[in-house]
Amino acid sequence: MKTFISIYLKLSVGTLLVVIAPSLEAQTLDSILIRKDIDTSASVLNMDAAYNRPFLTADKMPVSLGGYLEANSIYSTEDGVTEGLSFQARRLTLFMSASISKRIKFLSEIEFEDGTKEIGIEFAALDVAFHPVLNFRGGIIMNPIGAFNQNHDGPKWEFVERPDVAVNMLAATWANAGFGLYGKAHKGNWVLGYEVYLTNGFNNSITDNEENKTFLPAAKANEERFEESNNGRALFTGKLAIKNRKIGEIGFSYMGGIYNKFEEEGLILDEERRLDVFAIDFNTTIKKTGTYIVGEIIFINIDVAETFTQQFGNKQRGAFVDIVQTVLKKEMFGWKEATFNIAARLDYVDWNIGTFKETGTEIGEDLWAISPAISFRPSAQTVFRINYRYQWQKDILSNPAAKTATWLFGISTYF
Amino acid sequence: MNKVCIYLVFLCCLFLVACDKTSPVAPEENELLDGPIEGLTTQQQIQFLKGDEAFADVFTINEGLGPLFVANQCASCHPGDGKGHPFVQFTRFGQSDTLGNQFMTFGAPQLQNKAIPGYQPEVLPTGATFTSLIAPAVTGLGFLDAVSDADLIALSDPNDMDGDGISGRPHWNTIPSYVQLRPNSISKNGKYISRFGKKGAAYDLLHQTSGAYNQDMGITSLFEPIDVFSLLEIDPEVNTETVRNVVAYLKTLKQPLPRDVNSGDVILGKQIFSDIDCAKCHSPQLTTGISPIEALSNKTFFPYTDLLLHDMGVGLDDNYTEGFALTSEWKTPPLWGLGLSKDAQGGTCFLLHDGRATSIESAILMHGGEAVQSKNKYLLLSESEKTQLITFLESL
């Protein structure tokens, strides 16, 4: 993997230099490179997030480069016990896109998480546009479940931590090898988008892992999902998103299929077990106040063997909502459109919904958190964030919640 | 611009100050069951941490869980080092007398009531008597382990020579070859005093822990190498160092500390506890002998148990036993930590061996056999005296 990354980086930078090098003597880099900013027009949907990023390109050059960095400090205390102050280099993500020919393009996204602890291809797909409502996408794609999985770039958010429901219940960023179709249509104030994909999917680890709960992100450790399906059954992911330019966007998505290895070399290992994930995502801006609201609600049903431990639940649900208010927007320190924002996030995840067979009492394994935040953006692409997060997490028995308070100071920027 | 700078400086100061001021406060030491005993050496503390980690380790199928099992980690049965919950209740079967378990070829002594996908859990064989068990709290076990055999013998009165109707006796049991005899251990006809488990059938914490890995999680070790599914010896699925670290962790977990000790009701309740003879089995005070862990040597502690077997009457006789205990006999459970039980059991306490009592009072009322006189004395108490007694028990 490291060799691949190295080649990827060299190719990316090399391509750019080859194109612009002859001009360097006569011109400065700034005059050659063009920064393509994020499209903030009202016709953009969450599904456009992969391509809708600030890229750097050279005039007439078919290749664009970009990326973002997220780093922060963290001071956390759980029930009076702290491990002190830490600094974290959460993510370094590099994108490279290319226009191959008319209506054929390519985008890749490589992410280094926690330094080089996890290196992954989050997106590497070929897009072919037959018509605005009929596009083909194939390669390594981000499954369009909810909105955060596709629209997760750090600099877009006012919070250092990603939403719990996205990373600890869904498996954001959840990417797989596969193919599918997508398209968009516009009429008046309305924009309609759809996506349907078949990809490789999850595996047994989601109901047998060291988290000791049904945990979809456990399947991310299975790197073979880019090489072959765990069980020969495709995972279907589909999404329908509707946007009214004056109101906001709402998306309905579904991801499901057989997740377990039920057969090997013709021998039956287990019965086929299904996973079904439903998500509703939304975002809107209240025009009068400029308040931005974004959130997701997720429901998961999963078939867990009746004979297995109740630690692994067969129903989950979770949600998050962010409210962001710009309180100051003016020239500051020479940055023309610098903004101060205040924000708040509510996180909720219940990894095990149901009651104990033995007592009929409710199963716990849930988490609530509230995170007020202050952010400063010198420009739209760069954000300084101070977050405070207070979390209540209950174990499976609903014993008194472990209380955790966390202070985070972080930066995130596109480059 | 100046205002912006002021805001920024103010925010930074707020951030620095708030780190400490907004943190959740640590619970009082006597509100928690976990934590090490005082006076451990650095080396012992390091082993405590390793054992703590292993105690919380979740066994996955790839790591050897099952295929038949009851729980997938130590902490499932002992959440927060406290008592277990009925969702990880154990069923043991197959032995109704002192002649040994007659159902070993059917997977006895423990019913593996869960199975990994593709397998079927065990079902009770026809004709097997059984009992259900809730796991006990694991705090303070090192103190109990370090009480000398001589002290337990001194507490016993197997023939009720004093005529008080209480005849506790040590559980003289055969022991596995891998256990190491504790200092000054006493032997009787080749048997030794065992003291852990509801029937007091496990000799020491290594015996108890190896058995739990094997019977509760389906994990074999050097000490208990027989797989509960195939009933054949297989390679160890947990290494010896890990088992020993867990044993060291259990030995060095602190004893539960009482709360509200100066409250009037607690003081009066403690007196009533003694007056109605609860303390004859639930001995308030024991003293450790010599222990390889210096911090455990020659210490007086307050577990409210005598570690002896007592006949608890037909109501608590499930017609199942272990070792050489009678089916009606149970080892006196320590009462320390009783008031914290519900914080480990999901807000409701599940008491007695199988969790059938969901309040302290109902547990008292289910006492029979040698404890029937104490129960009758409890029934004669006034409501306020009952409240004082229960307040005292909740303070433990």
Per-residue tens of pLDDT for chain B, all 396 residues: 566 667 666 766 666 666 666 788 888 888 988 899 999 999 999 999 999 999 999 999 988 898 999 999 999 999 999 999 999 999 999 999 989 999 999 989 999 999 999 999 999 999 999 999 999 999 999 999 999 999 999 999 999 999 999 999 999 999 999 999 998 899 999 999 999 999 999 999 999 999 999 999 999 999 999 999 999 999 999 999 999 999 999 999 999 999 999 999 999 999 999 999 999 999 999 999 999 999 999 999 999 999 999 999 999 999 999 999 999 999 999 999 999 999 999 999 999 999 999 999 999 999 999 999 999 999 999 999 999 999 999 999
The reported pLDDT for the residue numbered B166 is 93
pLDDT-derived band at A143, boundaries 50, 70, 90: very high
The reported pLDDT for the residue numbered B19 is 60
The reported pLDDT for the residue numbered A39 is 72
- The whole-angstrom separation of Cα A45 and Cα A253 is 14
Terminal-residue alpha carbon distance, chain A? 24
For A321, phi then psi, to 5°, come to -140, 135
Q: Which of A273, A311, A399 sits opposite B343 (nearest CB)?
A: A399
Q: How many CB atoms neighbour CB A27 within 10 A?
A: 10
- The whole-angstrom separation of Cα B272 and Cα B265 is 10
- The residue of chain B nearest to residue A267, with distances taken between CA atoms, is B118
Residue A23 has pLDDT above 60, yes or no: no
- Could you tell me the two tokens for B309? 């077997």
- The residue of chain B nearest to residue A332, with distances taken between CA atoms, is B1
Residue A240 has pLDDT above 80, yes or no: yes
- The whole-angstrom separation of Cα B39 and Cα A299 is 50
Residue A24 has pLDDT above 50, yes or no: no
Residues in chain A with CB shorter than 8 Å from the CB of B79 are 395-397, 399
Identify the DSSP state of B335.
Answer: -
What's domain A2-414's architecture?
Answer: Beta Barrel (2.40)
Token pair 């958190």: residue: A369
Residue A406 has pLDDT above 70, yes or no: yes
Cβ-proximal residues to A17 (8 Å cutoff; 6+ apart), any chain: none
Q: How many CB atoms neighbour CB B275 within 10 A?
A: 14
Q: What is the largest CA-CA distance in chain B?
A: 91
Token pair 């280094």: residue: A112
Token pair 């709290």: residue: B137
- The whole-angstrom separation of Cα B120 and Cα A38 is 56
Q: Which of B19, B27, B71 sits opposite A75 (nearest CB)?
A: B19
Mutate to test the interface with B, among A203, A260, A309 (most CBs of B within 10 A): A309
Q: Which of B 91-120 lie inside 8 A of A, CB atoms?
A: 114-120
For B98, B152, B306, the CA distances from B204, given in Å and listed in that order, are 20, 15, 16
User: Taking the CA atoms of chain B, what radius of gyration do you get in angstroms?
Assistant: 23
Question: Phi/psi zone of residue B39: left (φ > 0), alpha (ψ -120 to 50 degrees), beta?
Answer: left
- The residue of chain A nearest to residue B350, with distances taken between CA atoms, is A359
- Could you tell me the two tokens for A162? 């990603």
Do A307 and B57 make contact, defined as CB atoms within 8 angstroms? no
User: For the stretch A191-220, what's the b/e string if a residue is b when 16 or more beta carbons lie within 10 angstroms of its beta carbon?
Assistant: bebbbbbbbbbbbbbbbbbbebbbbbbbbb
Angle at A96 between CA A91 and CA A98, to 5 degrees: 165
Cβ-proximal residues to A244 (8 Å cutoff; 6+ apart), any chain: A189, A190, A191
Smallest Cα distance from B40 to chain A, Å:
20
- The whole-angstrom separation of Cα B317 and Cα B174 is 23
- Could you tell me the two tokens for A241? 């998103």
pLDDT-derived band at A19, boundaries 50, 70, 90: very low
Across residues A15-39, what is the average pLDDT? 56
pLDDT-derived band at A223, boundaries 50, 70, 90: confident
Identify the DSSP state of A161.
Answer: S
Do A260 and B117 make contact, defined as CB atoms within 8 angstroms? yes
B87 touches chain A (CB under 8 A): yes
pLDDT-derived band at A20, boundaries 50, 70, 90: very low
The residue segments making up the domain with residue B55 are 35-395
Q: How many CB atoms neighbour CB A391 within 10 A?
A: 21
The reported pLDDT for the residue numbered A55 is 86
Closest CA to A195 of A279, A274, A315: A279
pLDDT one-digit tens code per residue, A312-359: 999 999 999 999 999 999 999 999 999 999 999 999 999 999 999 999
In this structure, are residues B114 and B218 in contact, taking their beta carbons and an 8 Å threshold?
Answer: no
User: Taking the CA atoms of chain A, what radius of gyration do you get in angstroms?
Assistant: 22
pLDDT-derived band at A6, boundaries 50, 70, 90: low
- Could you tell me the two tokens for A64? 């664009």
Q: Which of B 301-360 lie inside 8 A of A, CB atoms?
A: 343-348
Residue A379 has pLDDT above 90, yes or no: yes
Do B348 and A361 make contact, defined as CB atoms within 8 angstroms? yes
Residue A14 has pLDDT above 70, yes or no: no
In a domain, B270, yes or no: yes
pLDDT-derived band at A204, boundaries 50, 70, 90: very high
Closest CA to B38 of B302, B295, B354: B295
- The whole-angstrom separation of Cα A288 and Cα A271 is 55
For A152, phi then psi, to 5°, come to -115, 5
- The whole-angstrom separation of Cα B305 and Cα B202 is 16
The reported pLDDT for the residue numbered A41 is 66
In a domain, B16, yes or no: no
pLDDT-derived band at A215, boundaries 50, 70, 90: very high
Smallest Cα distance from B12 to chain A, Å:
9
The reported pLDDT for the residue numbered A297 is 98
Identify the DSSP state of B302.
Answer: -
Mutate to test the interface with B, among A78, A86, A212 (most CBs of B within 10 A): A212
Do B27 and A269 make contact, defined as CB atoms within 8 angstroms? no
Smallest Cα distance from B283 to chain A, Å:
29
Size of interface A-B (CB pairs under 8 A): 116
For B27, B343, B346, the CA distances from A401, given in Å and listed in that order, are 12, 10, 11
Domain locations in chain A as residue ranges? 2-414
Do A357 and B117 make contact, defined as CB atoms within 8 angstroms? no
For the four alpha carbons of B33, B38, B42 and B47, in that order, the dihedral sign comes to: negative
Smallest Cα distance from A303 to chain B, Å:
11
Residue A370 has pLDDT above 70, yes or no: yes
DSSP of B194-215: E-BSTTS-B-SHHHHHHHHHHH
Cβ-proximal residues to A156 (8 Å cutoff; 6+ apart), any chain: none
- The residue of chain B nearest to residue A270, with distances taken between CA atoms, is B118
Instruction: Kindly provide the ipTM of the predicted complex, given to two decimals.
Output: 0.89
Arithmetic mean of pLDDT over chain A: 90
pLDDT-derived band at A16, boundaries 50, 70, 90: very low
What is the rounded (10 degree) CA torsion for B107, B110, B111, B116? Answer: -90
In a domain, B2, yes or no: no
Number of compact structural domains in chain B:
1
